[in-house]
Structures are given as C-alpha cells and as structure tokens.
Amino acid sequence: MAEKIGVIGVGHLGQHHARIYTELLDARLVGVADSDIDRAKFIGEHLGVPAYGSLEELIRRKSPDAISIVVPTSRHYEIAKTALNAGIHVLVEKPVTVKPEEAEELLELADKKNLVLQVGHVERFNSAVRYVSGIQCNPIYLDSRRTCPFTGRINDVGVVLDLMIHDIDIIMSLVNSPIKKIAATGACVFTNFEDIADAQITFENGVLAHVLVSRCAEKKCRQLEIVERERQITINYELQSVQISRVVNNPDGQVEIRETPVFPKSEPLKLELADFVSCVKEHKPPVVGGMDGKRALEVAVEILRQIHDGGTESVRAAC
C-alpha cells in the first residue's frame, strides 16, 4: 500500500517535492499546504490534490503518514515538531533547524515516537557523490567551491546555511574523523546576510578541507576536488560527473592518466524522496538522518559565529 504523503510549502522547491511524490509508486500525494493559500491551490489543482492553508488543516483532513517540510528555515523547528507530535514521519529541508539544540529536540522526539526524521541534503543523492561514496576514498585534502551569480531568490539566510551546508555535510561524510579546528571569514555584499564565505576545516586525523561559497560570482561553479596520496578525484555536481587523475612512472618519465567513470545518472531530489518513502515503508534509517543534519548545522553555526562575531572590524561592520 502506498504511503500517504503531504507537502508543506510549495514554493520554488516544494512544488518539485509535490510533483515527484505523484511519480513514486510507493507514495500517494494526499494534499499540499502553504501559508499562501492561492499558491497552494494553484499547485494542488495542477497535481489534482486538495490544498490547505496550514499543516494542522492538512493533518485534520487527510491524516498523512509522512510529510515534506519545504518552508523558510525559521519555521522548520515548529512545523517538524508539530508533525512528529502528531505521529507523522518527517523530511525537513536543509538546514534541519536554526539552532543545534532545536535539532537535538527533534531527534529525541523522533526517536521516542519511532519516526523517520530525514534532512534534505540533496547533494548526497547526486549520482557523482553516490559513485565516490561507493569507492574506497582516503582524502588528505579537499577543496570545495560552490559559487553562482546573485539572484535574490533566497533572502532569509546567507550562503553558509543556503549553500555551504551542502559541502559541510558531504565533506564530513567522506572524512571519518572529528573536527579539530575551524577558521572562517566572510562578507556581506548584496544582503544583510553573508554573501561570500570561506572556511578551512582541520580534522583530528590531519585531513584538511577548504570550502568557498559565494552568490556574487559571474559564473556558476559546483565542484569538489579530493586529493589523495596517489590520485585526485574531481566531482562536478552540476554535470554529475567524476574525473579521476593519477600520475604513473614509465620508461619515458611520468605520465598523467585520467579516467572518467560511467555510471547511471538520476534526478537527485527524486532519489532523495524515494529514499524517504522507502524508510517510512520499511522502518529503516535514512541515508541522511537527523543526526547528520545536526552535525552539519553545528559546523555551520560555528562558521557563522566566526564570520559575524569573530571576524575583522570591517566584516562585522559590513554585515
């Protein structure tokens, strides 16, 4: 039997959550909700499901088994808590909450009620990331760049919670070690939030990671370079491609060999939502659970603290 699913928030991203649920065999979209009831009705009519103005009304009228929460970050905690208290499985978009202590409370609540709490770190379902996660990877240095031109679409958070948190999550999934030190800087350019952020993360096992994010760039770039002792792996998130380079010795000297693995490519969001539905149906832990979301958030919060409280006077004044 298909799981009854609802979507809370049907803006730019939420509309795709709703669409995909209508395409999954084990899911049945039973309704959408949005504080903008006209928007909810527009999406509901397009997908052939009822539209409501609040989560509470959706719960009362349709009793969903699970929901996607795709609303502004500031509302993640209250809506997720309401859903979990109602016995509903939750997928909440990243970042899981604004504060780590809120994430911890949701974790405890989900565990107490034996419910799935999944966090929408969709890049983990990027086919290139999935490929690299499936091979033996021993990084000594990682360099991540995620830049794009300014659009103004995201105006409730800065680039750390909007963009960098993806890279933090992926890097932490690839480096099996606690973090020893974080050093970060950033600046506000177009908004009152940081529009550029640069962080260096040192892990206790000696691995170093550099993460740069910006929404002030001329061109879009979404790339992760993983340096190992004998090879370098480059992930292009946008193309969902992987390139592996290594240098070998032959009688004529050193030769660089480049390999471009071939693997199936799929829509990351569809894979993420399919994993969520599968976890609800089979009562298994998700690929990216609440604890993963909380750990990434804790790192992001420290980076934000350094940018806005511990940076230079000019940066503090600009932000």
In this prediction, residue 314 carries a pLDDT of: 32
Whole-angstrom CA distances from 99 to 103, 149, 156, 287 are 7, 28, 15, 22
Please check whether residue 213 lies inside any domain of the structure: yes
Question: Cα–Cα distance between 146 and 164 in angstroms, integer?
Answer: 7
Please check whether residue 60 lies inside any domain of the structure: yes
Please check whether residue 253 lies inside any domain of the structure: yes
**pLDDT beneath 70: ranges in the chain:** 154-155, 310-319
Do 98 and 145 have their domain in common? no
263-292: pLDDT as tens digits:
999 999 999 999 999 999 999 999 999 999
Do 78 and 145 have their domain in common? no
Please check whether residue 149 lies inside any domain of the structure: yes
In this prediction, residue 312 carries a pLDDT of: 38
Sheet arrangement for strand 196-203: 179-187, 196-203, 208-214, 141-147, 221-227, 232-236, 241-250, 253-259
Q: By percentage, how much of the chain surpasses pLDDT 70? A: 96
What tokens does 14 get?
């939420």
In this prediction, residue 319 carries a pLDDT of: 40
In this prediction, residue 310 carries a pLDDT of: 65
Do 15 and 117 have their domain in common? yes
CATH number at residue 161: 3.30.360.10
In this prediction, residue 180 carries a pLDDT of: 97
Q: By percentage, how much of the chain surpasses pLDDT 90? A: 87
Do 199 and 272 have their domain in common? no
Do 83 and 202 have their domain in common? no
Do 192 and 255 have their domain in common? yes
In this prediction, residue 155 carries a pLDDT of: 64
Do 94 and 153 have their domain in common? no
In this prediction, residue 157 carries a pLDDT of: 81
Do 142 and 232 have their domain in common? yes
Question: Cα–Cα distance between 268 and 271 in angstroms, integer?
Answer: 5
Do 237 and 117 have their domain in common? no
Please check whether residue 294 lies inside any domain of the structure: no
Q: Contact 299/27 with Cβ under 8 angstroms? A: no
In this prediction, residue 316 carries a pLDDT of: 33
In this prediction, residue 258 carries a pLDDT of: 92
DSSP label at 123?
G
In this prediction, residue 41 carries a pLDDT of: 98
CATH number at residue 12: 3.40.50.720
Do 195 and 314 have their domain in common? yes
Report the C-alpha dihedral over residues 208, 213, 217, 219, rounded to 10 degrees. Answer: 80
Please check whether residue 82 lies inside any domain of the structure: yes
Whole-structure pTM value: 0.91
Q: Which residue has the tokens 């990877």?
A: 137
Give how many domains the chain has, as a whole number.
Answer: 2
Please check whether residue 163 lies inside any domain of the structure: yes
63-117: pLDDT as tens digits:
999 999 999 999 999 999 999 999 999 999 999 999 999 999 999 999 999 999 9
In this prediction, residue 26 carries a pLDDT of: 96
Please check whether residue 72 lies inside any domain of the structure: yes
Do 230 and 280 have their domain in common? no
Do 106 and 150 have their domain in common? no
Residue 18 belongs to domain spanning: 3-121+268-289
